[in-house]
Structure 1
């Protein structure tokens, strides 16, 4: 099957279309079953690359896309062993978020989801960042897990989807805030991917006042968790994550010339907490 995927990746549109008519169901079923393989070559360079090719060239039938979507939002994929940290199932969850991001993108460009399934898929996906506990970036010998970054990409896509229900945005924002307290310090550009969620909301003119209130709540929690004495690693890791996120957000807002009040609020808190 690896050789078949390599071959299809090299095909032009017409060749790929003809191949998918004959072998598409078998190929796509294999890809879906192995999307979270610990083998980084199979997972990243073959399956995910081919998935992107197939959806961007619209080589998949609606029935195939719909089946994949229904599978991806289950405990077998997006929520596989969601309470665990350190297991290989993180690759299943993480790459499920990437597939879902691609499917929601396709649905924006060429709608294929019925309204009930779309609503269910968006709602399920919106809870992912809140539930994910494994914060690993690169896993030696197995490649990128990057579940927080990939989950942020999914959340940004949901936030920008024209048919997203506004009630899901607070869930996504709660998920972003939870990422600061999952343990450890992010070092693989997770802050930029999380900030992209806020920028997606900015582009859709989400109320600035709600985001200011959310930011204040992030720092209120940090204030409540401040050690009265001694050293608590979890607090200082969270503080580092929050400040890095806020600095990245500040410059993103400045560059975009959006949400000046939110930018000013971020500046205030950054200065307040910089040397604490």
Structure 2
């Protein structure tokens, strides 16, 4: 029986029946095929089975710890990092989801060592900074969604009690790096990144620091414009940034937070509107 057949059977099992399985072997097989290009196996079976096992506490803490240690490792979250338009993105992206799942469970139950949590937080920064394959949906293979899944991991990392306010600048730099990658976000990546901003605000991100950070984004776009002018790369980058800022503007308004930052966003959007449409 292959893994897909086995997981289809497990999907219909009761929780108490799952406890009788050879869980170590099952987890090993799920990790082995975590980035399979079969979207049914990868999304609907492996990922959702991980969710069920972890969220319903059907596996022990030692297995959860092993899943996290494996998923943030060189052969998973950082597997062939830097590649573009290859199938390796699925392994990285779904490793990010597995890591997020365990880290989120630890927020509730605190079973992981501080060292492993700290490593996971740093891995969440490094992964998003290094990921270059920003595809969302891939025809015939399903969701890659690397930036969205990485953003989910980053948000959970920020929300963890082991994340300290001193790490806020590193998290902001990570988010900024995502806005300057070579590609267009069309699958709600900006919205997923905003959840990380929400988490940072809960951790003490000030309106002043947020506003300063927004200005650095505009300044970085200015550097591209000075060199490339109205290039394809400039337009794509500008579009990503404008979409992110517009979403952030309304998110802050919904939460009644960041009044000065919203003013800053308005100025930035107007400036780049004028650059493109009032020349």
2:119 equivalent in structure 1: 120
Q: What is the distance in 1 between the residues matched to 2:192 and 2:148? A: 6
Structure-2 residue corresponding to 1:23 = 22
Between stretches 160-169 and 217-226, larger displacement belongs to 160-169
Q: Which residue of 2 aligns with 1:204?
A: 203
State the shift of 1:231 in Å.
Answer: 2.9
Contact kept, 8 Å, 2:252 with 2:262, in 1: the verdict is yes
* d(CA) in 1 for partners of 2:50, 2:97: 10
Answer yes or no: is the 8 Å Cα contact 2:72–2:96 preserved in 1: no
Q: Which residue number in structure 1 is paired with residue 13 of structure 2? A: 11
Displacement of 1:228: 6.6
- How do 1:90-239 and structure 2 match up within 5 A? 90-227=89-226, 231-239=230-238
The answer (yes or no) to whether the contact 2:35–2:90 under 8 Å persists in 1 is yes
2: CA distance, partners of 1:251 / 1:94: 28
Equivalent-residue separation in structure 1 for 2:170 and 2:80 (angstroms): 21
8 Å contact 2:84–2:132 — kept in the other structure?
yes
Q: Is the 8 A contact 1:159 1:201 kept in 2?
A: yes
Long gaps (5+) in structure 1: none
- Inter-partner Cα distance in structure 2 for 1:228 and 1:147: 29
Alpha-carbon distance in structure 1 between the residues aligned to 2:187 and 2:46: 23
* Aligned counterparts of 2:167 and 2:130: Cα–Cα separation in 1: 15
Single out whichever of 59-68 and 214-223 deviates more from structure 2.
59-68
How big is each residue's C-alpha offset from its partner over 1:170-189, in whole Å with a ceiling of 9 and x where there is no partner? 22211211122211221111
Cα distance, 1:270–1:231 mapped onto 2, change above 3 Å: closer
Partner residue, 1:259: 258
Q: Which deviates the most, 186-195 or 200-209? A: 200-209
Q: Describe the superposition over 1:8-67 as per-residue Cα deviations: whole angstroms up to 9, x where unpaired.
A: 2222322223x3xx3111111111111111111110010001000011101111221111
For the aligned residue pairs, the C-alpha RMSD in angstroms reads 1.5
Alignment partners' CA distance in 1, 2:202 and 2:73: 30
Q: Structure 2: which 5+ runs fail to align?
A: none
Deviation at 1:124, TM superposition (A): 1.8
Match of 2:52 in 1: 53
User: Greater CA deviation, 197-206 or 238-247?
Assistant: 197-206
Q: Within 1, Cα distance between the matches of 2:133 and 2:13?
A: 37
Contact 2:7–2:49 under 8 Å retained in 1: yes
SS at match of 1:262: helix
* Contact 1:93-1:147 within 8 A present in 2 as well: yes
Corresponding position of 2:241: 242
